[in-house]
Amino acid sequence: MLNKILTITSALLLFISCEVEDGENLNGADTTSISSDISRGELGDAIGGVFSDMRQRLGTQVDAMSVVGREYWRIASSDPRWTGDLLTGVLDDNTFYTTTPYAGRYATVKDINLVLDGLNNTTADFSEAEISATRGLLNTIKAHEFLMVLNMQYENGIRTDVADTDNLGSFNTYDESLAILLEILNMAAADLDSGGDAFPFSIPSGFQGFGTPSTFIQFNRALAARIAAYQGDYPEVLSLLGDSFLDLEGNLDEGAYFTFSLTGADLANPLFFAQNSTVANVRIAHPTFIAEAETGDIRLEKAPIRNEPLSNAGLTGAYDVFVYESNIDPVGIIRNEELVLLNAEANHITNPSEAINSINIIRNAAGLPDYSGGNAPSNLVDEILQQRRYSLFAEGGHRWIDLRRFGRLDELPIDRTGDNIVSQFPTPQNENR
């Protein structure tokens, strides 16, 4: 399928989110034919394009959030902004780490809106169930993309009403945005529930566990549980987890993934660097990731020791980031390991024994003994954040988001005089507010 990608956004990533215009000649079709009357063949290619474009600028976004969250240092000798702006906290509203992830996510939303228009206007022989299933999948992905933007923008808020590029909706606050995204996911889940037994297209191998409308709901509910946790609505988290793919006895790596390959026009994993890479391009685990780990934690294998320490821009580290061991390794979107930790978090006040049970699942899988820190909510939060730090290391800026939502950003280390901690990225300069 990836050899037939509908690359709607390849030319659009030069522009910021809502300023993009329709492209032309897209793999034998143009955006007008897609939005005006989508065919079965066009739908399959368009869905492939959506899944492909979700990966655009993924490396930049994960790096930027991980660096400000002091998970690791991203060093590139040709671009000092990685060790300058992102660590000093003087962020530019018109440079790559701000603009390109923002543009990439909104370009995917543009893809989705074009296909949704096409579904509304189609004269092809789709059944009502097929249209419902497709709409549910697309809106689930749309909510994910909006959340990716919101995670960087935080209190700046985001636009969610962007279907009409000539009449954009206003910016919503952070709390409003979370509520809107949860509503989108809930409507998408209802569509998936009415979507019959199969999608009228193939989906990537990274979603192999969610290949039907009824199983894709589980991915949808997992994303919704993440959002409900950001809202602090723990009863809702538990309800959503019950309909997700949470499996307390299952493989912690089960979930949805971005996949990569070296074939044709496909993408390689942008988060892979070989061990012992040089200052030209390297990711160095923050020293505290090693120093603050418990003895025997096998998750430290994500940060193997280098042949020799590396120094650059006043920073010295001895451990590589090696979460991904090849340039075609998949990257997790959301995994069972996160869901188990969300279950712990959602229970830590009202059902501490269940929270501890979930914590012990994660600890034991990491080679650690059972938790013994007491069941006071504050102690459990400390433990849950510690386990999230090591389980979700370098996967998507989780540490920065977690400490921010618990009001603990001041716990992040300051590496050099003049460095600072930030809570959000600026809104891109040419995104007219």
Write down all domains in the chain, each with its CATH number in brackets. 2-269+328-411 (1.25.40.390)
- What whole-number distance in Å separates Cα of residue 403 and Cα of residue 295? 23
pLDDT at 165: 86
- What whole-number distance in Å separates Cα of residue 340 and Cα of residue 267? 31
pLDDT at 32: 72
> Which has the closest alpha carbon to 428: 102, 110, 126?
102
Q: What is the pLDDT of residues 172-195, one digit of tens each?
A: 999 999 999 999 999 999 999 999
Q: Return the ∠ at Cα 155 (arms to 154 and 156), rounded to 5°.
A: 90
Question: Residue 33's pLDDT band (boundaries 50, 70, 90)?
Answer: confident
Q: Is the pLDDT confidence value at 5 over 90?
A: no
Q: Which residue shows structure tokens 């990731």?
A: 289
How far is residue 178 from each of residues 31, 67, 184, 347, 424, measured CA to CA in Å?
30, 24, 10, 21, 16
pLDDT at 10: 39
pLDDT at 30: 58
Do the beta carbons of residue 141 and residue 206 sit within 8 Å? no
Q: Is the pLDDT confidence value at 299 over 70?
A: yes
Q: What is the pLDDT of residues 160-173, one digit of tens each?
A: 999 998 899 999 99
Across 15-19, 91-95, 415-419, least confident range: 15-19
pLDDT at 402: 98
DSSP 8-state code for residue 168: P
Q: What is the pLDDT of residues 52-86, one digit of tens each?
A: 999 999 999 999 999 999 999 999 999 999 999 99
Q: Using CB atoms within 10 A of its CB, is residue 3 exposed (0-12), middle (13-18) or buried (19+)? A: exposed
- Phi, psi for 391 (deg, rounded to 5): -75, -35
pLDDT at 220: 98
Average pLDDT over residues 240-262: 98
Question: Residue 432's pLDDT band (boundaries 50, 70, 90)?
Answer: confident
Q: Is the pLDDT confidence value at 17 over 80?
A: no
Q: Is the pLDDT confidence value at 321 over 70?
A: yes
Q: Is the pLDDT confidence value at 23 over 50?
A: no
Mean pLDDT of the chain: 93
Across 3-12, 68-77, 117-126, least confident range: 3-12
pLDDT at 276: 98
Q: What is the pLDDT of residues 395-422, one digit of tens each?
A: 999 999 999 999 999 999 999 999 999 9
